[in-house]
Amino acid sequence: MASGDAREHEVRRVLERYLVEVIEAYNLCPWARSARQNGELVTHILWGTPTPEAVCAAAATALATPGMRIAMLVFPEMGATSRELRHFRDAILKASPAGIADFHPDAALDLLTPARLVSFLRRSPDPMLQLVPLSILDAVRTPVFVPDVAQQAAMLDGTHASTLDIGDRIAETNHATVSRDHAAIAARIADILADRAASYARVGIVPAIRSDLD
């Protein structure tokens, strides 16, 4: 049986591959690279299937870390479907002031709309929750915009910059990127998942991922 340090090292290494080779390489999150490179990304690994109380406690600790911009709670051994993972997300939402996104390895590609693509973009190696303080989200959101007559005319002829909320702009950009590069992205994710399976077996991590179709 490998040491706890070896197990944690492999989880962090595989996660970094996903962040660097998928999220950053295809610019799917505009803050990911700077947060990681500037030491503003906090990662907590929770073994087994923790209780909602343990997850909330880990979230509170992560959000209280000085200088944190993005936190990841990673569950390498959690036997939860993507739907069940959302229950943990909802538990944190009731207790913590943060924006929370759930990531899960079980996700199909659906390019019909930007919204339906989100699950595929969050096809991480392990089930995990991403936390971003609400203060950071509020700082980058586009305020309500009421155009004057000239601006309305410019918007109609396509010469005025988009006033979509930043989340909507990111979703549209990601949809265009993945529509173009989905085969390469899927291949990269598959390679990372194969790496995960081999390395986890080597150090004694036993994933228990389940699909919503199980």
pLDDT band, very low/low/confident/very high, at 144 (cuts 50, 70, 90): very low
pLDDT band, very low/low/confident/very high, at 167 (cuts 50, 70, 90): low
**Mean pLDDT: which of 62-76, 100-114, 140-154, 168-182 is highest?**
62-76
CA distance 109 to 123: 10
**Alpha-carbon distances of 165 from 57, 80, 160, rounded to whole Å:** 31, 32, 15
**Mean pLDDT: which of 32-46, 130-144, 150-164, 169-183 is highest?**
32-46
For 12-21, the pLDDT digits (tens) are 999 999 999 9
More confident site: 26 or 164 = 26
For the cut 50, the answer to whether the pLDDT of residue 154 exceeds it is no
pLDDT of residue 211: 63
For 28-87, the pLDDT digits (tens) are 887 788 999 999 999 999 999 899 899 999 999 999 999 988 999 999 999 888 888 888
pLDDT of residue 83: 86
For the entire predicted model, the pTM comes to 0.80
> Please, are residues 165 and 14 in contact by the beta-carbon 8 Å criterion?
no
Amino acid at 65: T
